[in-house]
Amino acid sequence: MKRLIAALLAGMMIISACADTDDAEGPLVIYSGRGEELVQPLIDEFEIETGIDVDVRYGESTEMAATLIQEGDGTEADVFYAQDPASLGAVADMMTQLDSSVLDLVDARFADRDGRWVGTSGRIRTFIYHTDTPNELPQTIDDVIDPAWAGQLGVAPTNGSFLAFVSAMILERGEAGTLEWLQALAANDPQDFSGNSPIVDAADSGEIQAGLVNHYYLLRLRAEGEGENAENWFIPAGDVGSLVMPAGVGVLSGTDKPDAAQRFVEFLLSVSSQEYFANETFEFPLIDGVPAAEGLPALDEIAAPDIDLSQLADVLDDATRLVSEAGLI
Amino acid sequence: MTAGPLTTPVRPAAATRRTYRAGWGWWVAAAVVILPALVPPISLAWQVATRGIGPSIPFPRLLELFGGTLVLTLAVTVTALAIGTGTAWLTTRTNLPARRFWMIVAALPLVIPSYMAALSIIGATGRGGLAETLLGVRIPTPYGFVGAWLALSVFLAPMAHLIVGPGLRAIDPATEEAATGLGASGLRVFFTVTLPQLRPALVSAGLIVGLYTISDFGAVSLMRFDTFTRAIFTLYAGQIDRQPAAALSLLLMILALVILLLERRTRTRAGYQTSSTKRERRPIVMTARQQGGAHLFLGSYALLGLVMPVAVLTFWLTRGLGAGNEIGRLWDEIGRSVGVSVGAAVLAVIASFPVAMVTTWRRRRHLSAAVETTVWSIYSLPHITVGVAVIAFALQLARPLYQTLTLLLLVYVAMFMAQSASTIQDSLIRVSPDLEDASRGLGRNALQTLARVTAPLTRPGILAGAALVFLSVMKELPATLLLRPTGFETLAIRIWSSTAEGFYTRASAASLALLLVSIVPLLVTTHRDLSP
């Protein structure tokens, strides 16, 4: 019995040792909608460079946004780092205006209208195609639903980036026009995939002729020595076909560590972090003077649509509804 | 051998009642410890009732989810029952050499969590997978139905094995011998005599495997097959409005409770007459050829369910390390996983005592049945739904507990208390109340009696229960995913997130660590579950 009690006590001590993570000051709490494998090396670097302790809660971007909204003012989060402008926009009301010293680093197109979040790296929607395709490449997003691609186009209708693209289309042409486009897409018998990577794989192998994805998946495939039979095509019409979706960061108004939070935002926009994005994740750097990865055009050569990214959040749930109304999911 | 709580979410029906009085103090304590179990269903029902279901899920989508869940459940149940009955029959009824060895081996895949099963399938196939590297053939990764079915069937078959085994042993050999004596062939005896008597065990095993399948989150998510659980997480993670996730969770909770009630009904109705004199059963003699076939079957199952996962994980780990990949801070995760598992095990054992005391008392059967049903109900709820429910509850009514380790431990204890309660019950019914009465008679009070007499005598049950809870918490994924304190990454979380992001070296390292840490408690439970 004594041994049992000793075991119990030891167990309790282990728990309390685990629970004892709160020191007097408390760490900077970041809610990250970006994956741990990508973000944690940056966090480690930040901790070493600044001596600031950081705790990160990882999840999907929308999940973290919904969590922040549910938690409201009582949230322990100081910083929200998200994959897409829609998630950032959804909690923009809870975020404080950023210092102009960081806002000035990035083109105003890739930041919140009111300066409550700022883009940190660019991800672009692209039309990936099998290099031997006999079809003509689309000049506008409406060419994508041309019968020539019937049964040949890969889409990932449940994927967050696809939904962001649909949200942007709602801003561009309204709900009715978007539903029409989605219905035409559905009528064209697209191939359903669960995510971007398998679409890129299938376009590379020739299983499908083309697909709608983000630009960096092909570069990741090539980094592994494949992907020679597929190519990214940036639709040149200046429509949502080449939508730029910046990942971005904002500081929560309720933070008790505004200085540490500000330093983290600065850190993401530093040359070393921007180079990390360019070369490790093949995203577009958003500050001047850091080039994109080899094989990518410069960001300003891409015909991005002229839409207000701050409004994406307002139509995100509508996008989900339209996609299912059109029968894609 | 009893089909212990490793497998069954329902206490064996043969509950003996003890006479030692469960005083009112025990009832109060039991009421307090089962209180948290009521939170998830009430919280969800309240949330849906007061706030509606949000932007509703289109009916065709709902139908599709229902269909997907149903088809997967049926397929997994049939496959797992077929494999499990086969392994159980071969290892309990025949003269197969090394059948004791096979009996244990066939139960072992149970320790591999479903998401690890999925990871091993993903790691074996596809670009750069084990198959391509070793054999030079790239097998496409079976995402979707096939992958989910494979992962769940192989790793739920041991559950059928552990339930059907005792069922087979309970069959009176006289009936089979009579059939054989009348000239029936071995196969005919199996199908016309053995199988019908086995029906209660098969139905029970089927319902339990089914319950696990509809609750599974890890395998269907990593294999990207849409069932209710995956859809709940997609809605939870992909929509700003949390009401649709709550509504779907409530629906799934109700489905799980219906299956649980069905299972309990079949249990109470089960029962065949056996001849009063127990006789030693003569094993069925197999020819050398049949033995070869049996070994082939058992061997391929072990290969698929045990050797392959470990081989795939080791392969990815060694290759990743060779290529200079870093494993990262795995020690932190091991510490957290072991810490919460030990903590939850200790607390669950303490909380189980009042439950076991009142449910083994012979008076007030209705009240103790209510306590027992509550404990088992939360055990059978899909963990993703518990997570969704508890988050909403904590935010609205228990804000100081939100995202704390305390809340996580409370949820673990509530979810897994059934396991420790059941092993402690088993031990408690063997403790003679006379000893406790004597202790009281000699002037010790109730607490002293508990500490000096009852608890030491129920030590086997305490240890087994603690080991079971430890294993369950170690493997638990969806509730941990939703409820963990910020930065509290456990081994299970590491496996999940690294697999989802395609970093298999890290996922494999964490998986192997999880398996290693599980070995000791596993030995405690298999010793108990498989001792003849």
pLDDT tens string B25-40: 888 999 999 999 899 9
Segment B71-92 mean pLDDT: 95
Q: Which amino acid is located at A293 in the chain?
A: A
Q: Which amino acid is located at A242 in the chain?
A: S
pLDDT tier, B24 (very low <50, low <70, confident <90, very high otherwise): confident
Question: In whole angstroms, how far apart are CA A201 and each of A196, A197, B122, B140, B337?
Answer: 9, 6, 15, 11, 36
Tokens of B169: 């042993």
Q: Which helix (H) or strand (E) holds A204?
A: helix A196-205
| Nearest-CA distance B486 → chain A (Å) | 5
Q: Helix or strand or coil: residue A123?
A: strand
pTM for this model (two decimals): 0.86
Tokens of A2: 């004594």
Work out the angle between the directed axes of helices A2-19 and B405-428 (0-180°, nearest 10): 160
Nearest to B85 by CA among B14, B4, B156, B152: B156
| Nearest-CA distance B339 → chain A (Å) | 5
* Partner-chain contact A18 B503, CB within 8 Å: no
Which residue of A4, A12, A317 is in closest CB contact with B241?
A317
The complex's ipTM? 0.79
| Nearest-CA distance A121 → chain B (Å) | 19
* Partner-chain contact A1 B452, CB within 8 Å: yes
Segment B459-465 mean pLDDT: 89
Tell me how far apart the 2 most distant CA atoms of chain A are, in Å.
Answer: 80
* Partner-chain contact A63 B236, CB within 8 Å: yes
Question: In whole angstroms, how far apart are CA B89 and each of A219, B108, B198, B331?
Answer: 53, 17, 11, 42
The whole-number pLDDT of residue A243 equals 95
pLDDT above 70 covers what percent of chain B? 91
b/e per residue, B231-258, with b = 16+ CB within 10 A?
Answer: bbbbbbbbbbbbbbbbbbbbbbbebbbe
| Nearest-CA distance A103 → chain B (Å) | 26
pLDDT tier, B16 (very low <50, low <70, confident <90, very high otherwise): very low
The whole-number pLDDT of residue A18 equals 46
pLDDT tier, B502 (very low <50, low <70, confident <90, very high otherwise): confident
Chain B residue whose CA is closest to A18: B336
Cβ(B66)–Cβ(B254) under 8 Å? no
Question: In whole angstroms, how far apart are CA B241 and each of A90, A139, B141, B319?
Answer: 11, 36, 33, 43
Work out the angle between the directed axes of helices B491-500 and A36-50 (0-180°, nearest 10): 120
Tokens of B23: 């005083």
Q: Which amino acid is located at A278 in the chain?
A: A
CA B416 to chain centre: 10
The whole-number pLDDT of residue A6 equals 56
Q: Which amino acid is located at B1 in the chain?
A: M
Which residue of A37, A40, A62 is in closest CB contact with B238?
A62
* Partner-chain contact B61 A329, CB within 8 Å: yes
- Chain B hits for A76, CB-CB cut-off 8 Å, are 403, 486
The whole-number pLDDT of residue A21 equals 43
Q: Which helix (H) or strand (E) holds A214?
A: strand A210-214
* Partner-chain contact A57 B395, CB within 8 Å: no
Which residue of B60, B343, B462 is in closest CB contact with A11?
B343
Cβ(A89)–Cβ(A311) under 8 Å? yes
Segment A79-83 mean pLDDT: 95
* Partner-chain contact B127 A4, CB within 8 Å: no
Cβ(A284)–Cβ(A107) under 8 Å? no
Lowest mean per-residue pLDDT among A15-19, B222-226, B246-250: A15-19
* Partner-chain contact A55 B342, CB within 8 Å: no
Q: Is the pLDDT of residue B439 over 80?
A: yes
Report how many Cβ contacts below 8 Å link chain A to chain B: 120
Q: Return the residue in B349, B486, B501, B505 with the most chain A beta carbons within 10 A, the one to mutate for interface testing.
A: B486
The whole-number pLDDT of residue B60 equals 80
Give the phi and the psi of residue A29 in degrees, each rounded to 5. Answer: -100, 120
The whole-number pLDDT of residue A1 equals 47
- Chain B hits for A163, CB-CB cut-off 8 Å, are 238
Model confidence over B106-144: pLDDT tens digits?
A: 988 888 999 999 999 988 988 778 888 888 888 888 988
Report which listed range, B277-291, B295-309, B365-379, is most confident.
B295-309
Which residue of B240, B339, B501 is in closest CB contact with A14?
B339
Chain B residue whose CA is closest to A35: B501
Mean pLDDT of chain A: 90
Which residue of B58, B343, B451 is in closest CB contact with A12?
B343
Angle in degrees, CA A5, A6, A11, rounded to 5: 95
d(CA A216, CA A212): 12
Which residue of A15, A55, A60 is in closest CB contact with B238?
A60
Report which listed range, A111-120, B165-174, B355-364, B521-530, is most confident.
A111-120
* Partner-chain contact A226 B127, CB within 8 Å: yes
Which residue of B239, B328, B500 is in closest CB contact with A66?
B239
Q: Is the pLDDT of residue B6 over 50?
A: no
* Partner-chain contact B455 A66, CB within 8 Å: no
DSSP H helices, B381-453, are 383-397, 405-428, 433-441, 446-449
* Partner-chain contact B240 A313, CB within 8 Å: yes
* Partner-chain contact A11 B405, CB within 8 Å: no
pLDDT above 90 covers what percent of chain A? 72
Q: Helix or strand or coil: residue A119?
A: strand
Q: Which amino acid is located at B247 in the chain?
A: A
- Chain A hits for B501, CB-CB cut-off 8 Å, are 35-38
The DSSP result for A87-116, as a single string, is HHHHTGGGEEPPPHHHHTTS-GGGB-TTSS
| Nearest-CA distance B108 → chain A (Å) | 26
Q: Return the residue in A63, A194, A197 with the most chain B beta carbons within 10 A, the one to mutate for interface testing.
A: A63
* Partner-chain contact B486 A158, CB within 8 Å: no
Which residue of A36, A40, A194 is in closest CB contact with B224?
A194
* Strand partners for A123: A245
* Partner-chain contact A36 B501, CB within 8 Å: yes
Chain B residue whose CA is closest to A159: B238
The whole-number pLDDT of residue A248 equals 96
* Partner-chain contact A194 B143, CB within 8 Å: yes
Q: Is the pLDDT of residue B200 over 80?
A: yes
Q: Which amino acid is located at A167 in the chain?
A: S
Higher-scoring residue by pLDDT: A224, B51: B51
Model confidence over B56-73: pLDDT tens digits?
A: 677 888 898 999 999 999
b/e per residue, B50-62, with b = 16+ CB within 10 A?
Answer: eeebbbebeeeee
- Chain A hits for B462, CB-CB cut-off 8 Å, are 4
| Nearest-CA distance B327 → chain A (Å) | 11
Lowest mean per-residue pLDDT among A303-312, B280-289, B307-316: B280-289
Count CA atoms within 13 Å of residue B364 on its CB side.
16
Segment B387-412 mean pLDDT: 93
pLDDT tier, A15 (very low <50, low <70, confident <90, very high otherwise): low
Which residue of B392, B402, B501 is in closest CB contact with A35?
B501
* Partner-chain contact A62 B328, CB within 8 Å: no
Segment B481-499 mean pLDDT: 92
The whole-number pLDDT of residue B526 equals 65
b/e per residue, A234-256, with b = 16+ CB within 10 A?
Answer: bbeeebbbbbbbbbbbbbbebbe
The whole-number pLDDT of residue A264 equals 97
Tokens of A137: 């490449």
* Partner-chain contact B238 A17, CB within 8 Å: no
* Partner-chain contact A320 B498, CB within 8 Å: no
- Chain A hits for B338, CB-CB cut-off 8 Å, are 14
Model confidence over B471-480: pLDDT tens digits?
A: 999 999 999 9
- Chain A hits for B392, CB-CB cut-off 8 Å, are 70
Lowest mean per-residue pLDDT among A17-21, A292-296, B464-468: A17-21
Chain B residue whose CA is closest to A65: B240
Model confidence over B316-338: pLDDT tens digits?
A: 999 888 887 777 778 999 999 99
The whole-number pLDDT of residue A9 equals 53
* Partner-chain contact A66 B343, CB within 8 Å: no
- Chain A hits for B339, CB-CB cut-off 8 Å, are 14-15, 17-18
Cβ(A247)–Cβ(A120) under 8 Å? yes
Chain B residue whose CA is closest to A31: B486
Which residue of B391, B403, B497 is in closest CB contact with A36?
B497
Chain A residue whose CA is closest to B462: A4
Which residue of B241, B409, B486 is in closest CB contact with A57?
B486
- Chain B hits for A56, CB-CB cut-off 8 Å, are 486-487
* Partner-chain contact A1 B455, CB within 8 Å: yes
Tokens of A138: 């689309």
